[in-house]
Amino acid sequence: MLKHVRTMTMVQPIRLPGFRRLFVGEGIAVFADQMLLVGVTLLALRVAEPGFALGSVLAVAAVPGALLMPLGGWVSDRFSPARVLFLCGAGRTLLALALALIAFLGVSSLWPLYALAGALGVLNALYYPASLSTVPAILEDKTLLGAGNTLVLGAQQASETAGPVLAASVVALFGLGTVFGVNALMFAAAAVLFALVASGTRHAAKATSGVKAPFEEAPRQELHELAGSERSPGASRGPVAGIVEGIRYAWRDPLLRTMLFALALLSFSTSGPLRVGGAMLAETRLGGAEAFGVLLSAFGAGSLIGLILAGSLVRMGRRRVDLIVGTAALGLGLGTLGFVSSLLLATALVLGMGVGAGYLGVVLMAWLQERTKPSLHGRVMSLMMFAVVAVDPLSYALMGVLSELDLRVMFAAAGSLLLVTALLARRGQPHGTELPVRHGAYPVDRFSARREGGK
């Protein structure tokens, strides 16, 4: 039994010391980040009272994280993602200590909160692209990308669930200052782990650069192409040139362009309907606010199941089929939800949708990481996150308008949009083919991609 567990795809990344450190560090950092957000909200509530001032503090924390996400991708490509994670951990430690000082001293001015909330948003914009870029930097075996992303995202989701509960408990027992002090210790521990990851990846890169056999066997033209694929002049020239280079790179690649559009449409078609439509559906048909909580919990549980499934199954040659079938199934489930009046049936539908969303998230992320050349991982990951985050406000607004007309119209429109997304994915490349990895680290990647395409 133990031997079988050790050979499971999900477990294999954990056997690598660098990934173990990243996995634990990510879990600690996200856990502390969720506690920090709860603490900042409660501190702002204490200083500002409910109303516009409280909302403005939270907005100052959120807006930079979205707007500066492409810059965060450029920074990861320019200075190595693991090093960026370490610097963000150190910065968050100082930020938490400053908030602890404000809480203990009883500062009543909003301006320090605005400054620290803005700094938190900037650090988040740097942190998350680096987090997603570190996984492919550590896992040389690209068949493990799905499992690696699953473990990291699973740790994040578990931390996001437990962090607010722990923060509220610590506040109730010991006060706000203690929460921020605990945050500082956790961020410092994560920073140490990220420093070890950065050191390990740097040593691995030096060791790899000394191995010449694979390159000596490659033709001169292939060597020239490989060297060119690893260079990123935009990243070394400056942030504007680097960000533009990343956008052009993603736009000119039909597969990357299709996946980014698919992710944006997936987020647009699910975030608004589940939050706005789910709340109205629960209130009007399913029994009230408790039913809404059940639906959100079901979607979260389904997402975790989908993450585990995606990490356990290696389907590198069938990802386009997964995208088409999964997106179409999500569309059908969402369209059906508008006609449901039973909480049990609605919960089952939302649970299934969560499984599909979690599975597709891991599949698309691994596909993007595998497809992108290493020197542009940070920028493409930042574009992915921007595509997902930027459409949420539009989705909330539009679905709110449609839900006032008729809930069935809103869910049907969202489901139809997902079906359009499935058709877009189907037309994204020639039928029956799977585009290979365009930029591999070694010449052998070209032949392995050809084998996968022939499955």
Average pLDDT of 147-153? 79
Using pLDDT thresholds of 50, 70 and 90, give the confidence band for residue 195. very high
pLDDT tens, position by position, 259-290: 788 788 888 888 778 877 887 788 788 877 67
- Residue type (1 letter), 398: L
Using pLDDT thresholds of 50, 70 and 90, give the confidence band for residue 169. confident
Average pLDDT of 28-37? 86
Find out whether 180 and 39 touch, Cβ atoms under 8 Å.
yes
SS3 category, 192: helix
Query: Per CATH, the architecture of 242-453 is what?
Result: Up-down Bundle (1.20)
pLDDT tens, position by position, 243-259: 888 888 888 888 888 77
Q: Residue 206 has what pLDDT?
A: 54
Q: Residue 448 has what pLDDT?
A: 34
Using pLDDT thresholds of 50, 70 and 90, give the confidence band for residue 235. low
pTM above 0.75, yes or no: no
Q: Residue 84 has what pLDDT?
A: 92
Q: Residue 54 has what pLDDT?
A: 65
Please name the residues in contact with 276: beta carbons below 8 A apart, sequence gap of 6 or more: 396, 399, 400, 403, 410
pLDDT at residue 219 greater than cutoff 70: no
Q: Return the structure tokens found at 357.
A: 């969303």
Topology of 2-204 in CATH?
Growth Hormone; Chain: A; (1.20.1250)
Q: Which of 413, 414, 406, 417 is nearest to 285 (CA)?
A: 406
pLDDT tens, position by position, 108-140: 788 888 888 889 888 988 898 888 888 888 887
Q: Residue 101 has what pLDDT?
A: 92
Helix ranges restricted to H, 139-212: 145-174, 176-209
Q: Residue 180 has what pLDDT?
A: 92
pLDDT at residue 194 greater than cutoff 90: yes
Find out whether 274 and 423 touch, Cβ atoms under 8 Å.
no
- Residue type (1 letter), 380: V
Distance CA 157, CA 147 (A): 15
Please name the residues in contact with 353: beta carbons below 8 A apart, sequence gap of 6 or more: 270, 299, 302, 330, 333, 334
Query: What share of the chain in percent tops pLDDT 70?
Result: 78
Counted residue by residue, the chain has a size of 455
Question: What is the residue extent of each domain of the chain?
Answer: 2-204, 242-453
Residue 88 has φ and ψ, to the nearest 5°, of: -65, -40
- DSSP string across 341-353: --HHHHHHHHHHH
Q: Residue 64 has what pLDDT?
A: 75
Q: Quick one: which H or E segment has residue 214?
A: helix 213-216
pLDDT at residue 225 greater than cutoff 70: no
Q: Residue 186 has what pLDDT?
A: 94
Q: How is residue 141 annotated by DSSP?
A: S
Please name the residues in contact with 431: beta carbons below 8 A apart, sequence gap of 6 or more: none
Distance CA 235, CA 245 (A): 8
Q: Residue 208 has what pLDDT?
A: 47
pLDDT at residue 106 greater than cutoff 60: yes
What angle do the packed helices 81-105 and 17-48 form, to 10 degrees?
30
* Identical fold between 2-204 and 242-453: yes
Average pLDDT of 87-95? 94
Residue 5 CB-density burial (10 A; 0-12 exposed, 13-18 middle, 19+ buried): exposed
pLDDT at residue 146 greater than cutoff 70: yes
- Residue type (1 letter), 260: L
Q: Residue 433 has what pLDDT?
A: 40
Average pLDDT of 329-338? 88
